[in-house]
């Protein structure tokens, strides 16, 4: 049995798909999976595939401006307006690096994070769009970065107001609420979400907003976050990786509506 067959078998036993990342001629990155991608010009690296799809599907005159550390960034035009999209990685340390560098060293004024979240309440259904109005976290990110012992950070009220206006114009319902920004994806006890929800009013969970909002505050810039519900810790419903990559377009439409 060859190494690829062994990898496929191991992935099948774990109910996952094997993933192979490779370069050709030291230039373009390519990714092989056992499932054929829907788009011909498609690059899939876990959640980063969403950003590549965003660039190909929504933007025109697309140019790649960054591939350092495989964190792809694209600039193009959307309805005649120039806009850039970029991956942030997973977790607060990763988005903490990229957002701080963009704010501090590249004069970026506004960052809108788009991503997925897990629902903490049955009031949220799969594919619902959440506009974050506060991030709660047990993370030490803010304390380590600035010496502030805080557990809440906030988005830009101005950006949130604009996003709400765009969503209303597009007739896309938004659920506003507090998000739990967690440092841990795989908890030994997932049922702890009930206490977090009840004690802190969190309606869903993700892993980045707390750090993004903090960086915006310390650099005097603006940040917002739109999320699509990918799974529910209450009902145990879940979308597939392919669905997360290709069907989470409503939040993208809302975010791109702010292009000026």
The SS3 call for residue 38 is coil
pLDDT > 70 in the chain, percent = 76
Given a cut of 90, is residue 253 above it in pLDDT? no
- Give the CA-trace dihedral at 40, 45, 47, 51, to 10 degrees: -50
Query: What pLDDT score does 30 carry?
Result: 38
Average pLDDT over residues 228-235: 94
Q: Is the pLDDT of residue 160 over 90?
A: yes
d(CA 105, CA 77): 23
22-31, 57-66, 116-125: least confident range:
22-31
Q: How confident is the model at residue 44 (pLDDT cuts 50, 70, 90)?
A: very low
Quick check: 152 pLDDT over 80?
A: yes
User: How much is the mean pLDDT over the chain?
Assistant: 80
Provide the residue count of the chain.
Answer: 260
Distance, in Å, from the CA atom of 214 to the CA atom of 218, rounded to the nearest integer, reads 6
Residues 6+ apart with CB under 8 A from 85: 51, 54, 55, 59, 73, 74
φ and ψ of 81, to 5 deg: -100, 135
pLDDT band at 23 (very low <50, low <70, confident <90, very high): very low
Query: Percent helix, strand and coil across the chain, each rounded to 5?
Result: 35, 30, 35
Position 111 confidence tier, pLDDT thresholds 50, 70, 90: very high
The per-residue pLDDT for 46 is: 37
Least confident span in 14-23, 92-101, 228-237, 250-259: 14-23
**Angstrom distance (rounded) from CA 158 to CA 163:** 9
Interatomic CA distance for residues 54 and 112, integer angstroms: 14
Report the range of poorest mean pLDDT among 10-19, 177-186, 220-229.
10-19
The reply to whether 133 belongs to the active site is: no
Average pLDDT over residues 17-29: 40
* Residue 61 CA: distances (Å) to CA of 39, 57, 58, 114: 18, 11, 10, 22
- The values of phi and psi at residue 43, to 5°, are -125, 120
Instruction: Specify whether the CB–CB gap between 193 and 117 falls below 8 A.
Output: no
Amino acid 41: pLDDT: 40
Which H/E stretch holds residue 199?
helix 193-200
Catalytic residue of the set 13, 122, 198, 231: 231
What's the confidence (pLDDT) of residue 51?
36
Angle between helix axes 92-105 and 209-219 (nearest 10 degrees) is 20
For residues 236 and 27, the model is more confident at: 236
**Sequence ranges of the domains in the chain:** 1-35, 36-256
The pair of three-digit structure tokens given for residue 53, joined into one six-digit string: 């799809």
Contact between 120 and 234 under an 8 Å Cβ cutoff? The reply is yes
- Superfamily of domain 36-256, CATH level 4: Nucleoside phosphorylase domain (3.40.50.1580)
């Amino acid at each position: 049995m060859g190494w690829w067959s062994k990898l496929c078998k191991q992935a099948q036993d774990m109910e996952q798909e094997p993933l192979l990342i490779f370069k050709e001629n030291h230039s373009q990155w390519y990714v092989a999976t056992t499932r054929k991608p829907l788009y011909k010009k498609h690059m899939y690296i876990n959640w980063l595939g969403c950003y590549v799809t965003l660039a190909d599907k929504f933007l025109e005159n697309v140019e790649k401006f960054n591939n350092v550390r495989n964190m792809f960034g694209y600039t193009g035009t959307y309805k005649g307006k120039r806009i850039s999209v970029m991956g942030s990685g997973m977790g607060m340390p990763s988005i903490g690096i990229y957002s701080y560098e963009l704010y501090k060293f590249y004069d970026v004024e506004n960052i809108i994070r788009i991503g997925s979240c897990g629902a903490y309440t049955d009031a949220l259904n799969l594919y619902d769009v959440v506009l974050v109005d506060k991030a709660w976290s047990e993370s030490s990110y803010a304390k380590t970065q600035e010496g502030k012992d805080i557990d809440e950070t906030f988005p830009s009220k101005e950006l949130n107001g604009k996003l709400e206006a765009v969503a209303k114009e597009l007739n896309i319902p938004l659920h506003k609420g507090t998000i739990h920004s967690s440092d841990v994806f795989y908890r030994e006890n997932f049922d702890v979400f009930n206490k977090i929800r009840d004690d802190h009013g969190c309606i869903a969970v993700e892993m980045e907003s707390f750090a993004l909002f903090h960086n915006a505050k310390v650099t005097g810039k603006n940040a917002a976050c739109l999320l699509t519900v990918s799974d529910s810790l209450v009902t145990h419903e879940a979308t597939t990786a392919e669905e997360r990559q290709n069907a989470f377009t409503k939040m993208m439409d809302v975010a791109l509506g702010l292009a000026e």
